[in-house]
């Protein structure tokens, strides 16, 4: 099993701190990023706090698939019909700052490549 960590995202899941939640189900929560890098910037997180993608285990495969399908649904709801980017920053070199797995949905403008 993954080591569980308490982060600000756990507090958002428990509604102990406010967030602009756009989607929720039994396994996942989606909310707007507090520091948006694009006109649409939404984070999709598992309610089960896997610290980072590198900590995911084979038994998490259903949850990971669910998170991707949640991204698709949330992006549709956000009207990102012209495309969007999904980013998972992982670990220090990946630029991860919150140790609770999260998928960034970025859209609403044309995004450049490669990232910095």
- Please state the φ and ψ torsions of residue 27, each to the nearest 5 degrees: -110, -20
Nearer to ligand 5GP, 81 or 92 (CB): 92
Give residues in contact with ligand 5GP (CB under 6 A). Answer: 8, 19, 31-35, 43, 89, 95-98
Which two structure tokens, joined as six digits, stand for 83?
């495309």
Nearer to ligand 5GP, 65 or 94 (CB): 94
Shortest Å, Cβ 44 to ligand 5GP: 12
Shortest Å, Cβ 12 to ligand 5GP: 6
Nearer to ligand 5GP, 9 or 60 (CB): 9
Chain center to CA of 71: 8
Shortest Å, Cβ 107 to ligand 5GP: 14
Active site residue 100: no
Distance CA 65, CA 67 (A): 5
Question: Of the listed 41, 100, 102, 104, which one is catalytic?
Answer: 102
Q: DSSP character for 116?
A: -
For residue 88, with 0-12 CB atoms within 10 Å meaning exposed, 13-18 middle and 19 or more buried, which class applies?
A: middle
Which two structure tokens, joined as six digits, stand for 106?
């970025």
Which residue numbers are catalytic?
Answer: 102
């Amino acid at each position: 099993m993954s080591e569980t960590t308490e982060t600000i995202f756990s507090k958002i899941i428990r509604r102990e701190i406010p967030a602009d939640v756009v989607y929720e189900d039994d396994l996942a929560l989606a909310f707007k990023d507090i520091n948006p890098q694009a006109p649409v910037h939404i984070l999709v997180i598992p309610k089960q706090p896997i610290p980072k993608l590198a900590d995911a285990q084979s038994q998490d495969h259903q949850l990971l698939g669910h998170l991707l399908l949640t991204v698709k649904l949330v992006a549709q709801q956000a009207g990102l019909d012209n495309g969007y980017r999904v980013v998972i920053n992982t670990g220090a070199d990946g630029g991860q700052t919150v140790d609770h797995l999260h998928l960034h949905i970025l859209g609403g403008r044309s995004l450049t490549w490669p990232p910095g």
